Amino acid sequence: MAAAAATATTTVVPRCSKREGDIAGAGTSPNKGKIGRSSPPAEEVEAFLAAAESGMARRFAAKYNYDVVKDAPMDGRYEWVRVGP
């Protein structure tokens, strides 16, 4: 009996939880999604960022009654006091 128990041992092999296709570099190009793409024109980027900045300035002015473009307080909920020169 002891001889039969000694030969019936099993070996546990750890396995990875990821599939082979999910492993980075497993037959895929690192720039797969960037093929054929180029940067947008500088004018388009500038227009996009200017619109975003303008929107942020409007929301800030509406919330805190302070015009960041003119660097001046506006009439509204908060009272702004200059503390420096």
How are beta strands 72-73 and 66-67 bridged, if at all?
A: antiparallel
Bridge partner list, 72: 67
- Quote the pLDDT of residue 37: 82
pLDDT, mean over the chain: 78
- Quote the pLDDT of residue 72: 93
Sketch the domain layout of the chain as residue ranges.
Answer: 42-73
pLDDT at 55 over 90: yes
Chain mean position to CA 57: 22
pLDDT tens column, 5-33: 455 555 666 665 666 555 555 555 555 66
Residue 73 DSSP SS3? strand
Statement: the pTM of the whole predicted model exceeds 0.85: no
Residue count of the chain: 85
From the CA atom positions of the chain, what is the Rg in Å?
32
